[in-house]
Amino acid sequence: MKNLICLGVLTLGLCISCQPKKQDVSVAQPHKKVMLDGLNHPWSIAFLSADEALISEKDGHLLKVNLKTKEKQILKGFPEDLTDSIRVVNLGDNSGIFEILIDPDFGTVPWVYFSYTAKKPGYGTTTKVVRAKLQNDSLYGHQTLLEAEPYTQEYFHYGGGMVFGPDGKLYVTIGERLFWERDEPELPIAQDLTDKRGKIYRINQDGSIPEDNPNLGPDAIPGIYALGIRAAQGITVQPESDKIWFSEHGTIQGDEINILRAGANYGWPNVTSGKLRSTDYTPPEIEGATFTPPIWFWHHTVAPTGLTFYTGDEFPQWKNNLIVPGLSRGSLWRFQLENETIKSAEELFIDDRVRIRKARQSPDGKLYILTDEDDGKLIQITPLNSKLKL
Amino acid sequence: MKNLICLGVLTLGLCISCQPKKQDVSVAQPHKKVMLDGLNHPWSIAFLSADEALISEKDGHLLKVNLKTKEKQILKGFPEDLTDSIRVVNLGDNSGIFEILIDPDFGTVPWVYFSYTAKKPGYGTTTKVVRAKLQNDSLYGHQTLLEAEPYTQEYFHYGGGMVFGPDGKLYVTIGERLFWERDEPELPIAQDLTDKRGKIYRINQDGSIPEDNPNLGPDAIPGIYALGIRAAQGITVQPESDKIWFSEHGTIQGDEINILRAGANYGWPNVTSGKLRSTDYTPPEIEGATFTPPIWFWHHTVAPTGLTFYTGDEFPQWKNNLIVPGLSRGSLWRFQLENETIKSAEELFIDDRVRIRKARQSPDGKLYILTDEDDGKLIQITPLNSKLKL
């Protein structure tokens, strides 16, 4: 149309404004650059430096990798109660190794923190958080920080997301572990403060309970920081505000982005942005409960997971944006924020969809993603400059 | 997390890469600037110059407006068979005035082209395309170019989208006019080449039929260029490629972006990206039909409408992007393309959702939108520069 309007306007003698000014501008477009492949469903990455990192493989091992030499070392000394991976297609999260973090003071005390599915023969499995010291390619001096009993036969929604807060405390997501809501007890698991599942925890680095945790009553399990969680995995700190943001897997259209607040109840299964899976289930009324709404939810299934804030320099337009990988749609979401409001959402890599488990930034400000595949990849998102004539 | 990783790396003596470089960068964020209000459900805008335009109000008049003085003049001489507006909330499109275009050679011959709902007492309404000459604030010398009989009692899906192709021909979308698929005749309306509805037309500027139109058989209504259309409204030329792109309203989750091809069958109601509204309706098999798939469809209802390509200079990142307004979700979508592939999708103005009917660029490269409201607005999308420290 512009050309045609221009033609009309030309005849009116006003066409100067239609003439394109000749000016080349370089615009950076995001591009995927595979840095490592052959990973077995990688779940998380913790950078030791710009070129060296630890990677957890959900269906494999804890690895130490070098991005320059492409070398991979399997870390020795992973706890022996790790569950053999069980793959249940399209029925939620599976067991395996989840988050890997290094100690905020790693140079002094070489602790690494990891979450995984632990098994107890005859009972089942649950999520466990352990820290151990790293020396070369070995783990030693293990300490169990959190064990989300009960061990059950349900293989779903372990949670396992972890982050160190700006306060140095360890925040851990533990999933509700149920697939069907009709299997809920009278007081739903995630609403029950005497049940470890379906909660977010705040603990000290040695697993002890911080004295300034919210008071959730005498019967509440120590360490609980928030409740009403279904299957949160992604959890990250917003550098600008020191707030903690986390993702939540919904059932049907209930995928959410939330901000973590002390003592907050995120509502599962009583309120959800989506629909319950069991059409014959009605949650009971929870007396006195106040539910905290999400910051954002999608109108379709995205399966958002290991999110991060972008603070790098390569994509100036993305500065301080929230980056959210998706499993179901396999794309990378970029959210522009103003305080706690999402102003715009960009879905990237629509033409190259692949299950993305984690987005993380390296110490030198590069953005990386991990793909949840048999031949999983560590991919760097790099700017590919293209010239535009303005 | 970055700060914490940084802290760890600091102890390792590698923190130089974590230190932010001090550099101010100006980043343009889109911002809404109301240029005109008090419009009665505006549908389309045709610029006469950077500051003067014609605006069609769906529920009102054809206006001549001045963006500087804010003056609005009602054009005299609109055809008298315009239907009084009927507002049927949540049941599809309504009657009224739709597209407004100016002649590609407007300076020589002051034709304006418009589409609207015409009524025939005792029969009902249909979509009509008329051109008339504009002198000051009056229309004269009317010629009917297209009348999409039959006149019926259905008040939905008139279509009415129009654009001049790079070939100077007028392309017109005519909707299928049905709300429920169960009301389809044996051969569905949009699949029937002897029925004027549910088609896209290519006609000469005087309404005659171009000789190089696709040959759709001896019984086909002259002027049909494509079929299988449900409720297309947005139609625009891609300046880079001269291809014509159009939007299509689906039923449930079937909202699409398509590229117009000569003789193509877009499949309605036989194939759709969404779900049929009538659960008890099964379309008949259409012998020998080849259906053209969309370039893109949404997984939720957006109600995409008056789309345009951005070629302005104010947002360099948006150069040659497809801009699609939505009615249902009220946001503005930006699609980055590579040939016919959509590479990324950004949903803008999520925090300020309002039904957007049309996006259009002025001759001086500014982007405007029209909001479909009782107090409808013409809004300019301007860059609001914010300084970022890189």
Question: Helix, strand or coil for residue B124?
Answer: strand
Q: Provide the shortest C-alpha distance from residue B20 to chain A (in Å).
A: 9
State how far the alpha carbon of A289 is from the alpha carbons of A266, A268, B298, in Å. 10, 12, 36
Q: How far is CA A256 from the centre of its chain?
A: 11
Contact A228, A208 (CB under 8 A): no
Give the separation between CA B117 and CA B100, rounded to whole angstroms.
13
Please determine, for residue A5, whether its predicted confidence score (pLDDT) is greater than 50.
Answer: no
Closest residue of chain A to B170, computed from CA coordinates: A1
Interface contact flag, A350 B361, Cβ < 8 Å: no
Closest residue of chain B to A24, computed from CA coordinates: B316
Predicted pLDDT at B15: 35
Give contacts of B 176-205 with A, CB under 8 A.
none
Q: How far is CA B21 from the centre of its chain?
A: 44
B23, B344, B353, best to mutate vs chain A, most A CBs in 10 Å: B344
Ranges under pLDDT 70 in chain B: 1-26, 85-93, 387-390
Residue listed under structure tokens 């001045």: B66
For residue B16, count other CB atoms closer than 10 A to its CB: 10
Question: Residue ranges of the domains in chain A?
Answer: 32-389
Tell whether A361 lies on the interface with B, counting CB pairs under 8 A.
yes
Mean residue pLDDT of chain A comes to 91
Predicted pLDDT at A50: 96
Phi, psi of A386 (to 5 degrees): -125, 140
Interface contact flag, A1 B338, Cβ < 8 Å: no
From the list A29, A342, A350, the residue facing B345 with the nearest CB is A350
Q: What is the 3-state secondary structure (H, E, C) of chain A?
A: CHHHHHHHHHHCCCHHHHCCCCCEEEEEEEEEEEEEEEECCEEEEEECCCCEEEEEECCCCEEEEECCCCCEEECECCCCCECCCCCCCCCCCCCCEEEEEECCCCCCCCEEEEEEEEEECCCEEEEEEEEEEEECCEEEEEEEEEECCCCECCCCCCEEEEEECCCCCEEEEECCCCCCHHHCCCCCHHHCCCCCCCEEEEECCCCCCCCCCCCCCCCCCCCEEEECCCCEEEEEECCCCCCEEEEECCCECCCEEEECCCCCECCCCCCCCCECCCCCCCCCCCCCCCECCCCEECCCCCCECECEECCCCCCHHHCCCEEEEECCCCCEEEEEEECCEEEEEEEECHHHCCCEEEEEECCCCCEEEEECCCCEEEEEEEEEEEEEEC
State how far the alpha carbon of B153 is from the alpha carbons of A171, B86, B159, B179, B251, in Å. 62, 12, 16, 11, 20
Contact B142, B132 (CB under 8 A): yes
Predicted pLDDT at A390: 55
B1, B111, B235, B252, best to mutate vs chain A, most A CBs in 10 Å: B1
Predicted pLDDT at A87: 55
Interface contact flag, A348 B344, Cβ < 8 Å: yes
Contacts of A13 in chain B (CB under 8 A): 107
For residue B91, count other CB atoms closer than 10 A to its CB: 10
Interface contact flag, A336 B29, Cβ < 8 Å: yes
Tell whether B2 lies on the interface with A, counting CB pairs under 8 A.
yes
Interface contact flag, B108 A1, Cβ < 8 Å: no
Predicted pLDDT at B299: 86
Planar angle of CA A51, A52, A54, nearest 5 degrees? 140
Predicted pLDDT at B102: 98
Contacts of B244 in chain A (CB under 8 A): none
Give contacts of B 75-94 with A, CB under 8 A.
none
Tell whether A308 lies on the interface with B, counting CB pairs under 8 A.
yes
Mean residue pLDDT of chain B comes to 91
For residue B156, count other CB atoms closer than 10 A to its CB: 19
For residue B23, count other CB atoms closer than 10 A to its CB: 10
CATH 1.10.10.10 assigned to A32-389: no
Give the burial class of B143: count Cβ atoms within 10 A of its Cβ; 0-12 exposed, 13-18 middle, 19 or more buried. middle
Give contacts of B 219-278 with A, CB under 8 A.
236-237, 239
Sign of the Cα pseudo-torsion (B240, B200, A10, B31, in order): negative
Interface contact flag, A8 B313, Cβ < 8 Å: no
From the list A7, A343, A350, the residue facing B104 with the nearest CB is A7
Contact A290, A265 (CB under 8 A): yes
Predicted pLDDT at B87: 55
Q: Which residues contact A234 (CB under 8 A, 6 or more apart)?
A: A161, A246, A247, A304, A305, A306, A307, A324, A325, A358
Interface contact flag, B164 A4, Cβ < 8 Å: yes
For residue B71, count other CB atoms closer than 10 A to its CB: 12
Q: Which residues contact A90 (CB under 8 A, 6 or more apart)?
A: none
From the list A163, A316, A350, the residue facing B1 with the nearest CB is A163
Interface contact flag, B351 A342, Cβ < 8 Å: yes
A315 residue type, one letter = F
Report, as an integer, the average pLDDT of A281-289. Answer: 94
Predicted pLDDT at B324: 98
Interface contact flag, A11 B47, Cβ < 8 Å: no
Point out the least confidently predicted range of A207-211, A321-325, B45-49, B91-95.
Answer: B91-95
What single DSSP character describes residue B254?
-
What does the block give as tokens for B346? 């950004």
Beta bridge partners of A382: A31
Tell whether A134 lies on the interface with B, counting CB pairs under 8 A.
no
Closest residue of chain B to A29, computed from CA coordinates: B317
